[in-house]
Amino acid sequence: MTDLPAYVVINNDSQSEELRSVLRTPAQKILFPLSPEDQESLEILEAKYDAEKNCAGLAAPQIGIPKQMIVFEALCSPEIKKWRPDFTQEMPKTVWVNPSYDGIGESLHEDYEGCFSVNDLAGPVKRFTKITYKATLPDGTPVSGEAEGFLARVIQHEIDHIRGILCIDKVPEGQLMSIGAYREMRAAKMAEDRNE
């Protein structure tokens, strides 16, 4: 698969308003067994994810496919653990269809998020610390469980995409920053933590 779709970016005025609207519209539920079209869409989504470096997850609307499909992975190296103490749970690369989540309790954790669908912006986003999730695997097998910490954050971020919600919608007013400014802030914090 050589011609992978470009990202749909909400603040890219060179993309049509019609194309960008896929990011703001709840995605379509998928019927089983998968149609050939839905199977192809899943393959494109997974190939786009595999082609990225440093990508925790990807939802179909991010590449212009208005369907309820996501792919994500949460694997923690010792280096990542140093600056992500909330990385308490791992999950290998996973593809879900028609996923949903609900928060467990009222505990929220704030952390900075960026996104391929939002050019050069990041900001603090509060998300549930623990969630329950339900989804279907591409072969039709239902899955459900609980997630916490960084894994829960990734799942919520990707499922929000299929709900028409972007991470910047959850950033408090006046707290959006450039990715460059965020990276500088994070590097300074990591250096400070190493010196303690």
Q: Which residues are catalytic?
A: 158
| 3-state SS, one letter per residue, for 110-142 | EEEEEECCEEEEEEEEEEECEEEEEEECCCCCE
Please list the alpha-helical segments (H only) found in the chain. 17-20, 36-51, 78-83, 149-162, 179-195
Alpha-carbon span 97 to 57, nearest angstrom: 14
Q: Which residues contact 151 (CB under 8 A, 6 or more apart)?
A: 74, 87, 88, 89, 90, 91
Nearest to 129 by CA among 150, 114, 145: 150
- Cα separations in angstroms, 23 against 34, 58, 149: 23, 12, 25
Hey, what are 24's tokens?
Answer: 């703001």
- Grouping H, G, I as helix, E, B as strand and the rest as coil, residue 62 is helix
Alpha-carbon span 155 to 98, nearest angstrom: 12
- As a whole number of Å, the end-to-end CA separation of the chain is 48
